Amino acid sequence: MHFADFLAGSVGGACGVAVGYPLDTVKVRIQTQRQFTGIWHCIVTTVKREGVHGFFKGMALPITTISMTSSVVFGTYRNCLQCLARFRGISAANTKLNVFLSGLVAGVAQISVMSPGDIVKVRLQCQTESERSGLKPKYSGPIHCLLSIARDKGASGLYRGALPLAFRDGPSFTTYVLIYSTLCSQLTPAGQKEPEWTVVLLAGGLAGTAGWSVGTPMDVIKARLQMDGVRGERRYRGFVHCVTETIRNEGLGIFFRNLGINCLRAFPVNMVVFAMYEVSVRILRSASVDRLS
């Protein structure tokens, strides 16, 4: 089992959160609150009402949970690749089918760890009340939000939006690793074991952009289900009802309203994620080899 990939994934995920969180907050607010007419309007309004701190609401818990989630997703992906190669009796480079299946399994596997932290993140990001505005926020912080949801809705409340999250991350992570592995393979000269760092950065950024292009429609539904009922009566009975009501009221275009900001955020975030993952995994594997030799 490749334990180095679990640890390296954790480091990469934490660094990615720190880089991308401000734009993630803007994205979530635009998806769930109709008061914002666009990216710039959301940024200006947030600074005016809440200050720069408003972009970092609820970041403490995601740093922890995304570290665990990235550990699960990268570790699962790498170990699935290993298992499939052994099952198929292939010792050469991984096939595209192996990468596809491993990415799909890893993308869905992370949901059990990701969902509770994600709903807390979304609710705190959408909490626009602040001392500056004179309104008392509903949640005082990540832990208070987590405990409040669990108390009011039970453990199942922490997994509201888990189905669209799975529909988002299964296909998007599959796309993510397929693009990354293909670009690294194509841009690395024959005979060279590891890709150059410029290749890692470029492939990581493009893979992240492609993954979010696939995942953006389900991200809209996920965020709406997670925020449903927070400011009044529930509007949606479930996943299918949310999809049909969203299309009926706002058209298909709403699913791609935030594609631009997702791609803008995804490129630098995933450059960092893959760079830190590769650095960490190479150090850990080198240390393991040195210890055994």
pLDDT over 50 at 28, yes or no:
yes
Question: CA-CA distance, 161 to 192, in Å (whole number)?
Answer: 43
Res. 4 pLDDT band, cuts 50 70 90: confident
C-beta of residue 52 within 8 angstroms of C-beta of residue 90? no
What amino acid occupies position 87?
A: F
pLDDT over 70 at 288, yes or no:
no
Res. 56 pLDDT band, cuts 50 70 90: confident
Q: How far apart are the first and last CA of the chain?
A: 19
Long-range CB pairs of 228-231 (<8 Å, 24+ gap) are 228/160, 230/123, 230/126, 230/138
In total, how many domains does the chain have? 1
Between these two residues, 109 and 53, which has the higher pLDDT value? 109
pLDDT digits (tens, 9 = 90+) for 83-115: 888 887 755 567 899 999 999 999 999 998 899
Q: What is the pLDDT of residue 3?
A: 77
What amino acid occupies position 34?
A: R
Tell me the mean pLDDT in the region 31-40. 82
pLDDT over 80 at 289, yes or no:
no
Residue 117: CATH number of its domain: 1.50.40.10
Q: Which of 103, 94, 83 is nearest to 176 (CA)?
A: 103
pLDDT digits (tens, 9 = 90+) for 239-251: 999 999 999 999 9
Q: What is the pLDDT of residue 90?
A: 58
Q: What is the pLDDT of residue 292?
A: 40
Number of Cβ within 10 Å of residue 268's Cβ equals 17
pLDDT over 70 at 53, yes or no:
yes
Query: Can you give the residue range of the structural domain that contains 135?
Result: 3-292
Question: CA-CA distance, 63 to 42, in Å (whole number)?
Answer: 23
Question: CA-CA distance, 26 to 110, in Å (whole number)?
Answer: 24
Res. 6 pLDDT band, cuts 50 70 90: confident
Half-sphere exposure of 153 (CA within 13 A, CB side): 17
pLDDT over 60 at 131, yes or no:
no
